[in-house]
Amino acid sequence: MRSTGQQATLSILTSLFFIWGFITCLNDILIPHLKTVFELSYAQAMLVQLCFFTAYFLVSIPSGYLVERIDYKGGIVCGLLIAGLGCLLFYPAAALHQYGLFLTAFFILASGITLLQVAANPYVAVLGKAETASSRLTMTQAFNSLGTTLAPFFGAMLILASPVKTATELQALSAEELSAYRAAEAALVQTPYLFLAGVLALLAIIFLFLKLPKLVNPPADQGQARQSSASAWHYRHLRLGALAIFVYVGGEVSIGSFMVSFLSSPAIGALTEQDAGRYVSLYWGGAMVGRFIGAIVMQKVRAGYVLTAHAGVAVLLISIASLSQGSLAMWSLLAVGLCNSVMFPTIFSMALTGLNQHTGQGSGILCSAIVGGAIIPVLQGLLADHWGLQQALILPMVCYSFIAFFGWRFRRLEN
């Protein structure tokens, strides 16, 4: 049983997982808005994701060293303030109508979220018994998924509140009308992000004065003692865990990115893009449901076995989706979302097991591996261009196969 103090701390930390999930998912709403307002190509619009994921790659490892110096609580406060600064920059970016400033804001915002993840994820992992670390992290990640589920609805309501004019309609406006239109569109972006900046600042103040329990690393066994002077890179399960995070995020994002095209294919669902988009919510929603269930299951079942089983089923489902047609292929690929549920938190907590004083650095390494979400989808796109959508699914199959290997290889790591 966790102490009352630990339970209260875990409840407060859950708010962080919700807020960074909410903010991250708002990108999906803001990207089409910016594309139209700035008259961008698809490649130019995707610079948003490039800047966002690049922050994970560049900032994660330095964040790990920072957390080791200023403690987890200090890392959380700094992360909230940096993310809040990124949100504030959306105001001048919109007012000045500068896409470059928007991209800068995205990078700073993602840098703050990265520091938050580096500090909060290991805090949750070690806040209690080691054998239930994956269960705790899975539960908090479920609230992260709740944020990603709610964000599109609120984002569409606030940012996409008015129909965006086409390039032809913009050319027909007078200078005064165009200025008024730009101001109105800017206001739609400014208000939500000013509100988010206020929320992040409030959370930073709360955590600054909050008395969080000091985390004490468990005593190392003899094998760990011999490694005590080494860096986190010395641990093989951490290195393979980073690769597992890389392929997991890449595989998950790849499937989600191509889901609309897959479901719209005449041989699969023959859906309109609008209808296919509604089904995509089932893919991401499955992760949220699965995390709540997984948090309970892993109270009794070893995390490594759960991870291996989920990854194995994901490989099977993707195989069916790549080889079949119609509703069988459609629902098989959508069901992969449910398998995704426990993967990130389980890989993360398993990879950090036994790192002791190098936990902060290890967390930074794992968070930097999230850059897989920017690389693997591009590779799958190249495969889809040459082989077709279904054949390109072989890449996420390989990704989930490695995750199954990682879970089985280190299945006893937390016990």
Q: How is 184-223 classified by DSSP, letter by letter?
A: HHHHHHHHHHHHHHHHHHHHHHHHHH--PPPP-PPPP-HH
pLDDT at 49: 73
**Same structural domain, 138 and 258:** no
* Domain contains 353: yes
In the block, residue with structure tokens 């690929």: 333
Which of the listed residues 152, 175, 210 is the one where a domain comes to its end? 210
Calculate the alpha carbon distances from 151 to 22, 30, 196, 281, 346 in Å: 5, 11, 12, 12, 24
Domain CATH for 73: 1.20.1250.20
27 three-state secondary structure: helix
**Same structural domain, 250 and 368:** yes
**Are 152 and 301 contacting, i.e. CB atoms less than 8 angstroms apart?**
no
Task: Give the chain's mean pLDDT.
Answer: 79
Q: If you average pLDDT over each of 3-12, 152-161, 340-349, which comes out highest? A: 340-349
Q: What is the mean pLDDT of residues 14-38?
A: 78
**Same structural domain, 271 and 367:** yes
pLDDT at 220: 46
Q: For residue range 348-399, list pLDDT tens digits in order.
A: 888 888 777 777 778 778 878 888 877 887 788 788 878 888 898 999 999 9
Residue 242 lies in domain? 235-415
Q: At a CB cut-off of 8 Å and minimum separation 6, what does 26 contact?
A: 151, 155, 159, 192
* Domain contains 218: no
**Total count of domains within the chain:** 2
* Domain contains 226: no
pLDDT at 198: 94
**Same structural domain, 155 and 58:** yes
**Same structural domain, 188 and 265:** no
Q: In this predicted model, which residue has the larger pLDDT, 127 or 30?
A: 30
Q: What is the mean pLDDT of residues 294-299?
A: 74
pLDDT at 219: 46
pLDDT at 415: 45
Global pTM reads 0.69
pLDDT at 224: 45
* Domain contains 225: no
**Same structural domain, 255 and 390:** yes
**Same structural domain, 135 and 255:** no
Q: At residue 183, does pLDDT exceed 80? A: no
**Same structural domain, 249 and 153:** no
Q: Which of 55-64, 140-149, 165-174 has the lowest mean pLDDT?
A: 165-174
* Confidence band for 285, pLDDT divided at 50, 70 and 90: confident
Q: At residue 150, does pLDDT exceed 80? A: no
